């Protein structure tokens, strides 16, 4: 009888330890995914000064766009900013860069500039990496939040003070479906 009670207690403790370690692992995956987004945002921010210098020589009247790009770059590099604040700044930066690339259409010499083309390609690659990093982050958040909310790991999560994480949302302006007119 005593052996049976000891076995049950040991199994219960083992189950709690396994559930706790699973929650810690999943939380760390969310943190790592968040860190990967920061790495890609940093990479993008580091490419911007070179792009802006290349464009400035051709489009000197785009000061407002340059100022916005600089401001959003600063927000993205702020170590105190939350991941959601950085993503908002990144979305505004994407809009400003879209405008900058649209303006470049008016400057054939700029469009043919090898530095500009190279930087544009690097930014496109970085955009893809940011998009993947966001997807990875949201997938890890979903798995983590599921563990927090399902039995029996929700009991351990409550005792361990694990907190729910928020998904990265696409801003409403980016969700709009473009209108195709022929």
String of b and e for 135-173 (b: at least 16 CB within 10 Å)? ebbbebbeebbebbeeeebbebbeebebeebeebeeeee
Q: Which DSSP state fits 79?
A: T
The answer, yes or no, to whether the previous bond of 152 is cis (omega within 30 of 0) is: yes
Mean pLDDT in order along the chain per 10 residues (182 residues) = 94 96 96 92 85 73 75 83 84 81 75 78 88 94 96 94 89 47 36
- Work out the angle between the directed axes of helices 83-104 and 114-149 (0-180°, nearest 10): 150
What's the pLDDT score for residue 181? 40
Measure the CA–CA gap between 20 and 142, rounded to whole angstroms.
17
> Can you give the pLDDT at residue 175?
47
What is the topology classification, in CATH, of domain 2-166? de novo design (two linked rop proteins) (1.20.1440)
For residue 59, the number of C-alpha atoms closer than 13 Å in the C-beta half-sphere is 24
Question: What are the sequence ranges of the domains in the chain?
Answer: 2-166
């Amino acid at each position: 009888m005593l052996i049976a009670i000891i076995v049950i207690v040991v199994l219960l403790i083992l189950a709690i330890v396994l559930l706790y370690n699973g929650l810690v692992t999943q939380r760390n995956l969310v943190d790592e995914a968040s860190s990967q987004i920061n790495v890609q945002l940093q990479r993008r921010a580091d490419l911007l000064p070179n792009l802006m210098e290349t464009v400035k020589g051709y489009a000197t009247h785009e000061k407002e766009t340059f100022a916005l790009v600089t401001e959003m770059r600063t927000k993205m590099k702020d170590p105190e900013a939350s991941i959601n604040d950085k993503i908002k700044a990144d979305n505004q930066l994407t809009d400003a860069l879209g405008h900058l690339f649209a303006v470049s259409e008016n400057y054939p010499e700029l469009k043919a500039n090898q530095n500009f083309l190279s930087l544009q390609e690097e930014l496109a690659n970085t955009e893809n990496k940011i998009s993947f990093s966001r997807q990875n982050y949201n997938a890890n958040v979903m798995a983590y939040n599921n563990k927090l909310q399902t039995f029996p790991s929700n009991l351990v999560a409550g005792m361990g003070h694990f907190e729910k994480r928020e998904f990265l949302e696409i801003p409403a302006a980016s969700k709009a479906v473009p209108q195709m007119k022929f």
